[in-house]
Amino acid sequence: MKVAEIHDNTLVLKNGGLRAVLQTSSINLHLKSEEEQNAVIFSYQHFLNSLEFPIQIVVRSKKLDLDNYIAKLKKIESKQENRLLQEQTAEYIEYIQKLIEYADIMAKEFYVIVPQDPFRMQKQSFLKSIIENFNPKDTIAKIQQRKNEFAELRKQLGQRVNVVKTGLENCGLHVEPLNTQSLIELFYETYNPLTARNQKLTDIDHMRVETDPDIKSAPKTAGA
């Protein structure tokens, strides 16, 4: 996917399409009875047959990250008053760290990508037409019209997300749509796996955005 931007819990592609990403749990069929297995398979088959649009299923493998778990253990160790328990906690932390380092344990994550593309097929993409047609002298009505068109596309995407979420939950899966922060972290970790382990992303709500002072002092255009 060629992503242009990420906002409002949505991927905006360079061709103007929108994508939502849902993270799902998994089911180990080998641990279920034959009757339970058949029920899950039937539910999944029914879900696929009910879809009127394509979806993409992605399985991501990554090195298991237990940094937060180890940090919690270290806090417990520091507050432990019993010396014996404190030593045992320290030994357990060391064991976990060595296990991760030498065993190279991998974790799998499962995602479903839900698409929504503009209905009107043009030579120019929907997003590109918005950018190129933008004019500082546009009236508020024109700007609002483009905003409404984009909002309508996102609304249709949301309806598809609900269909997919309900269908997968009927199969016994836990489904969680990714928000803007989670989407940014997903792409950051995917394209920068080594850096991501040592340098975590800041919460976007706490990011400081600096504005060019020349832009602040720019005169307002007519109709703005």
pTM listed for this prediction: 0.71
Instruction: Mark whether 128 and 24 lie in a shared domain.
Output: yes
Question: What letter represents residue 162's amino acid?
Answer: N
Q: Are residues 87 and 56 in the same domain?
A: no
The reply to whether 25 and 119 lie within a common domain is yes
Tabulate helix, strand, coil % of the chain (nearest 5): 50, 15, 30
Q: Is residue 224 part of a domain?
A: no
Residue 69 and residue 58 share a domain: no
CB 17 within 8 A of CB 115: yes
Domain containing 81: what range? 65-104
Q: Within this chain, do residues 82 and 185 fall inside the same structural domain, yes or no? A: no
- Domain count for the chain, please give it: 2
Q: What is the pLDDT along the chain (224 residues), one digit of tens a residue?
A: 788 889 889 998 888 789 999 999 999 999 999 999 999 999 999 999 999 999 999 999 888 878 889 999 999 999 988 999 999 999 999 999 888 878 777 889 999 999 998 865 444 455 555 555 555 556 777 767 767 777 888 999 999 999 999 999 999 999 999 999 999 999 998 888 778 777 777 777 666 545 445 544 444 444 43
My answer on whether 27 and 96 are in the same domain is no
Instruction: Tell me if 25 is assigned to some domain.
Output: yes
- The packing angle between helices 140-169 and 34-50, to 10°, is 160
